[in-house]
Amino acid sequence: MSASISDSAILLLADGTLLEGSAFGFRGTVFGEVVFNTGMTGYQEVITDPSYFGQLVTFTFPELGNTGVNITDQESLYPHLKGVIAREVNSKPSNWRSEQSLESWLDQNGVVGIKDVDTRALVRHLRKTGAMNGVISSEDIPIELLFEQLHQFPSMEGLNLVEKVTTKVPYKWTLPCPVGFDQRLAKQSDSAFCVVAIDFGIKRSILDRLVAHGCQVTVLPATSSLDEILRYKPEGVFLSNGPGDPAAVDSSISLVKELIEKVDIPLFGICLGHQILGLALGGSTFKLLYGHRGLNHPCGNKGRVEITSQNHGFALDPNSFRDSKVLVTHFNLNDLTVAAIAVRDRPLLGVQYHPEASPGPHDADHHFSRFVSLMAERR
């Protein structure tokens, strides 16, 4: 017997906090880790970013849906987060690029939402207590039963979610035609570098930036072996963003260790890929209290600051590297966590934030140039 559907909804957190609101998007019940994103734009990119797989995302901007949704702004084929938490939702978008309303699109894609929630109070609570599991429900299910099921739901810490989002088959990536809304995509080189991208949950905009900086990109599953990678004769290997606990992605850590030990080609990691690179270099990671998710995080070192786009709940421990050749090149200037690493005398670099800036500022786009320069030096 299925539960009845309601126009009201609740958000229940693992610590017993209960918030009431209105249902929007798909009606149902969904469990996940409750986090928050402070960006003022880019809700569609966030919703379709595979790095948010398994999460219920609170948007701090007070109104969602103003610009609707469109196919161009998607970071993947469909939404990957499990639920959306909002203050207000505009059901009548007004934008020349809009193709559909946010609410109808979420309903169509099975994403459960709750609105009319005091998101400011919720975020203040999460900043104090930390990100935690929660449940959104617009079904007539007893609170006691939801709370019982919630405590049986696994914690994000220790979860390997890469297998849920990685591609099953290899594919090549080329720039969309026409170029599209982002005019930066036009900067393509005549002599492309052969790059293999390992898909831990890769975003389309990252692939676009690699191609725009002169790379010919082949995307491979996270389950690929060293021999499968070398079959493409890459001049560089890219390690993508993705969801879950980096320390739980054992096979990929082992793969990157093999690449470092057996192949002298440039490696470039972003977000989860950066953390996996750090783990392969002997470092360790830890779970942040509530993570970094937003578009205005200052990162830098030695007087140079980049305003960056971020989305991660784990970070590298800077004191865990025994090899003195591993350098922390950038810090998050809000809390001094590791924002980027490199290796002295080796073509290895990792960036915790998102230099593709989708959504977000373009300050950090030069990291793609660094990767290309390393490959150019070895030609």
Sign for the pseudo-dihedral over CA of 5, 9, 15, 17: negative
User: Which superfamily does 162-377 belong to?
Assistant: Class I glutamine amidotransferase (GATase) domain (3.40.50.880)
pLDDT tier, 174 (very low <50, low <70, confident <90, very high otherwise):
confident
pLDDT for the residue numbered 355: 96
Q: Residue length, the chain?
A: 379
pLDDT at 2 over 60: no
**Using CB atoms within 10 A of its CB, is residue 294 exposed (0-12), middle (13-18) or buried (19+)?**
buried
* Closest to 269 measured CA to CA, from 292, 282, 253: 253
Looking up tokens 């970013």 gives: 49
Per-residue pLDDT tens digits for 192-214: 999 999 999 999 999 999 999 99
Domain locations in the chain as residue ranges: 5-150, 162-377
What integer is the mean pLDDT of 302-323? 94
pLDDT tier, 186 (very low <50, low <70, confident <90, very high otherwise):
low
* Closest to 157 measured CA to CA, from 97, 245, 229: 245
Q: Which residues contact 376 (CB under 8 A, 6 or more apart)?
A: 193
d(CA 357, CA 376): 24
What integer is the mean pLDDT of 187-194? 75
Question: Does the domain spanning 5-150 belong to CATH 3.60.15.10?
Answer: no
CB 292 within 8 A of CB 339: no
Per-residue pLDDT tens digits for 241-293: 999 999 999 999 999 999 999 999 999 999 999 999 999 999 999 999 999 99
* 271: annotated active-site residue: yes
**Identical topology for domains 5-150 and 162-377:** no
Per-residue pLDDT tens digits for 323-377: 889 999 999 999 999 999 999 999 999 999 999 999 999 999 999 999 999 999 9
The active-site residue out of 271, 274, 306, 367 is: 271
Q: What is the DSSP string of 153-208?
A: SPPSTT---HHHHS-SS-EEE---SS--S-GGGG---SS-EEEEEEESS--HHHHH
pLDDT at 94 over 50: yes
Per-residue pLDDT tens digits for 291-309: 999 999 999 988 899 999 9
Q: What is the DSSP string of 199-228?
A: ESS--HHHHHHHHHTTEEEEEEETT--HHH
Residue 180: C-alpha distances to residues 99, 177, 186, 367 (Å):
15, 7, 9, 22
Q: Which residues contact 303 (CB under 8 A, 6 or more apart)?
A: none
pLDDT for the residue numbered 21: 98
The active-site residue out of 103, 235, 306, 356 is: 356
Looking up tokens 């969602």 gives: 64
Question: CA angle 93-95-101, nearest 5°?
Answer: 30
pLDDT for the residue numbered 182: 64
The active-site residue out of 213, 292, 354, 367 is: 354
d(CA 320, CA 349): 17
pLDDT for the residue numbered 323: 84
Of residues 180 and 210, more confidently modeled: 210
* 356: annotated active-site residue: yes
d(CA 99, CA 132): 34
pLDDT for the residue numbered 303: 82
